[in-house]
A and B are shown apart, each in its own frame.
Chain A
Amino acid sequence: GDSVTQMEGPVTLSEEAFLTINCTYTATGYPSLFWYVQYPGEGLQLLLKATKADDKGSNKGFEATYRKETTSFHLEKGSVQVSDSAVYFCALLYNNNDMRFGAGTRLTVKP
């Protein structure tokens, strides 16, 4: 069945370091892909999304490109900040109403 696999955490980086969180998916057809973020004590919120191959989603300095050839949607940021510390979830929408989420990757950014 359709599923998402993302890199296990936790990930610990120093401020201004480069971030990559890997996400790959298995799906029939062409799902929409998402990154959600969960800040401490808060609910999940949409970070960015891409709805078709080669689309790039971007928000708050984060980017992810929908790569059909590698079935990937890796999250990147050039220079992380302490305020980026959170849990990041990769997800795919594989029919009209069901999203499949990865296990989440906890990021801690140290000053």
Chain B
Amino acid sequence: GAGVSQSPSNKVTEKGKDVELRCDPISGHTALYWYRQRLGQGLEFLIYFQGNSAPDKSGLPSDRFSAERTGESVSTLTIQRTQQEDSAVYLCASSLVSGGYEQYFGPGTRLTVT
């Protein structure tokens, strides 16, 4: 079946503009995660959704970052007033449930803020 998909694959934006990144998880996966991967660094946890529970936003780096998820489907990560330090690859992953289950990753969105 289809894996996790993300769009766009690449996004170049000017400093100060808002961007929206989209993630389509694997159908039936109740858990969805967003990570940020800066060049040469590991993955940085941003936010986690599990079913209808309140999301875990503890990894969001500032109030310019927000994310929404409709039920157990699509999620969007929004970055307002982008800064150059926001440049990174943003990865989305989904899993059947949380807690030790394999996470399936999308190909990522490469964001470049000029």
Question: Which A residues are closer than 8 A to B by beta carbons?
Answer: 4, 32, 36, 41-46, 49, 51, 89, 91, 93, 96-104
Q: How many residues of B contact A (CB 8 A)?
A: 27
Question: Which B residues are closer than 8 A to A by beta carbons?
Answer: 3-4, 31, 33, 35, 40-43, 45, 48, 50, 56, 58-59, 91, 93, 98-100, 102-108
Q: Can you list 28 pairs linking A and B with CB atoms under 8 Å apart?
A: A32-B100, A41-B107, A42-B107, A43-B4, A43-B91, A43-B105, A43-B106, A43-B107, A43-B108, A44-B93, A45-B105, A46-B103, A49-B102, A51-B100, A89-B43, A93-B99, A93-B100, A96-B99, A97-B56, A97-B98, A97-B99, A98-B45, A98-B59, A99-B43, A102-B42, A103-B40, A104-B40, A104-B41
- In the complex, which residue of chain A has the Cβ closest to the Cβ of B43? A101
What's the Cα separation between A43 and B41 when bound, in Å? 15
What's the Cα separation between A100 and B103 when bound, in Å? 13
Known: A32-B100, A97-B48. A103 touches B107 (CB 8 A): no
